[in-house]
Amino acid sequence: MSSAFVYDAVRTPFGRYGGALAGVRPDDLAAFVVGEQVRRAPGLDPARIDDVILGNANGAGEENRNVARMAVLLAGLPLSVPGVTVNRLCGSSLDAVVQAARAVETGDADVVVAGGVESMSRAPWVLPKPERVYPAGGAELVSTTLGWRLVNKRMRPDWTVSLGEATERLREKYGVTRERQDEFALRSHRLAHEAWEAGRYADLVTAYPGTDLVRDEPVRPDGTLEKLAALKPSFRSDGGTITAGNASPLTDGASAALIGSADAASLTGLEPLARIAGRASVANEPQYFGYAPVEAAERALARSGVGWSDVGAVELNEAFAAQSLVCLDAWDVDPEIVNAWGGATALGHPLGASGTRILGTLARRLLAEDQRWGVAAICIGVGQGVAVVLENARAAA
């Protein structure tokens, strides 16, 4: 088995729900990052791309089911380049990277573009088809933006609670206070703002043409603990702790990474950033989905042959501050190395794009901070988690 490497990563700035990217179709967002990733590889003949694998959670509207193939066509790549869309909800684009790595390691591919896209602003309302012709009465429209829809009646009710209510149950189980959540959220915004000011995202983020958005729109550099404490709970009126301030905002965006074999250096004109050293997908009780990254990261590290004491950087998708804190409390890791350039509480969480966002950030952090080993992990609704371990290619050499 050969090794798979991350050669590059790029993403759009993430736009707020109804914000700067709301007017852009998801297939156009996807086409942009795929095309941009190809453009950034100076030696790459687009016809040499073996596959385009994109993650997408909704897929109910303008994505046209297989948004990866749509992106290939809209980006003007050769018609011979295939495309496949994967859906592991919030972990979709990290799963796309995992699938790309497997193809490279088994010799099925040398160069793969992996990534993901989500326009939560443009996710459509859906109407179930009637079970008989000319039904009497009305029907209810269902939003596809986030969470359950058209739920099977055989599903257990405790499995199908909202993501927010599930996280309230998780933080109750592990004793995470509102104060800790707000402090964590404030840190995320502060670090994201500092990273942007320091130019950390200059090589990672490219503005979508025709828009004025050059930075992640949800970041609030003027936040305070007092402002966060004044926000009302979003999911429980009595005793709730999760608010709009300590949860990731709904967002729009796309991300991509260039995954390749050792031979891909000569094909792309790029040097590898990191080696994909291990990965894992796990599942647990749906209502405790936020805890799944704990085991996913542990398994991925074990498969890489390293431990937490070796890890110098962690990127954990901050779906909720409470969920993130539960994971950090469970891991034997210094919280200061987690999301050092800010996290999804500040940057946003466009479901299908977040996995490649954290992977690309991790690869760049390993280089910038001269660390050898890093972990990218993400929680997934309905009780799943995915994690990937990266080894700094230059430190390994």
Q: Which of 90, 189, 193, 327 is catalytic?
A: 90
CA nearest to 151, candidates 163, 140, 160? 160
Cα separation, 276 vs 146, in Å, equals 30
Q: Where are the alpha helices (DSSP H) in 106-257?
A: 163-174, 178-197, 225-229
Cα separation, 25 vs 15, in Å, equals 13
- Given the structure tokens 């043409």, which residue do they identify? 209
Q: Which of 189, 193, 327, 349 is catalytic?
A: 349
Burial classification of residue 114, based on how many CB atoms lie within 10 Å of its CB (0-12 exposed, 13-18 middle, 19 or more buried): buried
Q: Which residues contact 371 (CB under 8 A, 6 or more apart)?
A: 312, 313, 365, 392, 395
Residue 105: CB atoms within 10 Å: 15
Cα separation, 56 vs 122, in Å, equals 13
CA nearest to 162, candidates 382, 351, 385? 382
CA nearest to 351, candidates 207, 276, 256, 249? 249
Tokens for 388, please give them: 């990937």
Residue 349 annotated as catalytic: yes
Cα separation, 373 vs 200, in Å, equals 19
Q: Which residues contact 376 (CB under 8 A, 6 or more apart)?
A: 94, 314, 315, 316, 355, 358, 359, 362, 387, 388, 389, 390
- Given the structure tokens 């003007």, which residue do they identify? 76
* Rounded alpha-carbon distances, angstroms, from residue 340 to 187, 365, 367: 9, 9, 13
Q: Classify residue 247 by its DSSP letter.
A: B
What's the distance, CA 277 to chain centroid? 19
Tokens for 33, please give them: 């990052």
Q: Which of 189, 193, 327, 379 is catalytic?
A: 379
Residue 193 annotated as catalytic: no
Q: Which residues contact 129 (CB under 8 A, 6 or more apart)?
A: none
Active site residues: 90, 349, 379
